[in-house]
Amino acid sequence: NCWFVAAVAPLTLNNKALHRVVPKDQSFKENYAGIFHFRFWQYGHWVTVIVDDRLPTHKGKLIFMTSRQSDEFWSALLEKAYAKLNGSYQATAWGSTGEGLEDLTGGLWETFKINNLREKPTKLFRRMLQAQKRGSLMGCMLNTVDGEAKPIDGMGIIYRHAYSITCVKYIKAGTTKDIEKMRMIRVRNPWG
């Protein structure tokens, strides 16, 4: 479910959004009770979901969402709460990053298909800059005609894999005045 991982990843860049979903008042140390609570936006209001601290493992390793740090479990617990909200882990196997972002932020989401754009790419880029200034969380994915997940040569971007957009900005392409600014979008692979 890389779509959900890609929706969670931008939360780590926005503490206000993160702590709306993962309240700060809980840990494995202070007032530890073996349960954790999370908040999701559902049908026009915030819903609290409480889960215990037991996580599904196989041979001592987490089966679903993990962190790079072996002693960090908030993302796995968040995924467990989201699975509970939706009825099961299986129910969260497929989805879109936009749906995940909506459930995690309460905001609306838009999809832009680059090959069907009625506006110039420069206009879309300016819209993305404005969205970033407003604190919007963004993601992206490249679809293929044949549906096969394969890497793009030389870039490391994989078709049909969800990415978080972590920065949108203009970069000067050189040191002279006449050099045009390049439009740059930094993406993050939520799986590392």
Beta strands in 32-179 (DSSP E): 35-42, 45-52, 57-58, 61-62, 138-140, 163-172
Radius of gyration for the chain, computed over Cα atoms and rounded to the nearest angstrom: 19
Phi then psi for residue 115, to 5 deg, are: -75, -10
Q: Is 37 a catalytic residue?
A: no
Q: Which of 86, 143, 161, 167 is catalytic?
A: 161
Distance CA 6, CA 49 (A): 21
Beta strands in 20-106 (DSSP E): 35-42, 45-52, 57-58, 61-62
Q: Which of 2, 45, 58, 143 is catalytic?
A: 2
Q: Is 58 a catalytic residue?
A: no
Phi then psi for residue 16, to 5 deg, are: -60, -45
Per DSSP, the three-state class of 168 is strand
Q: Which of 14, 37, 140, 189 is catalytic?
A: 189
Q: Is 2 a catalytic residue?
A: yes
Q: Which of 75, 74, 81, 15 is nearest to 46 (CA)?
A: 81
- Which active-site residues does the annotation give? 2, 161, 189
